[in-house]
Amino acid sequence: MTGKSLSERIGELGHRLAVEAHAAWLAARDPRVPMLARILAIAVAAYALSPIDLIPDFIPVLGWLDDLLIVPLGLWAVRRLIPPSLWNELHAAAEAASERPSSRSGMLLILLLWAGLLYLVYWAVRTSPMH
């Protein structure tokens, strides 16, 4: 069998959607992009990153269905509203950014900050006179 496994295809789809979403985010900040496309790009990025969905993710199948439909359709609409040459430029920039190595030390710093904040909250609750 020479085809790719389902998990490989899903991983590629996830990578493509991440690059497209990053290109849309770049479009939202680029003054050469028409205003309607910029507004839609902001809305799509906000929905994709928001912890609040139309249908909560804990509802089996339906919870993921809105993410699998709304985000790609929004990205498709943003792409159609931007001139092809400009979209290609933004997409190339997003693709190049996806190939850069991620900062493991930055991730560790953020995780340590969150752990410290959680500890402070725990300590404040434990030492509270109301406890």
Could you tell me the residue ranges of all domains in the chain?
6-100, 103-131
Q: How far apart are CA 52 and CA 32, in angstroms?
A: 31
Structure letter (DSSP) for residue 127: T
> 99: pLDDT confidence band, cut at 50, 70 and 90?
confident
pLDDT, one tens digit per residue, over 79-95 is 999 999 999 999 999 99
pLDDT band, residue 5 (cuts 50/70/90)? confident
Whole-angstrom distance, CA of residue 49 vs CA of residue 39: 15
**26-84 residue pLDDT tens:** 999 999 999 999 999 998 877 776 767 677 767 777 777 777 888 889 999 999 999 99
For 57-73, letters b (16+ CB in 10 Å) and e give: eeeeeeeeebbeebbbe
Distance CA 94, CA 82 (A): 15
pLDDT at site 101: 63
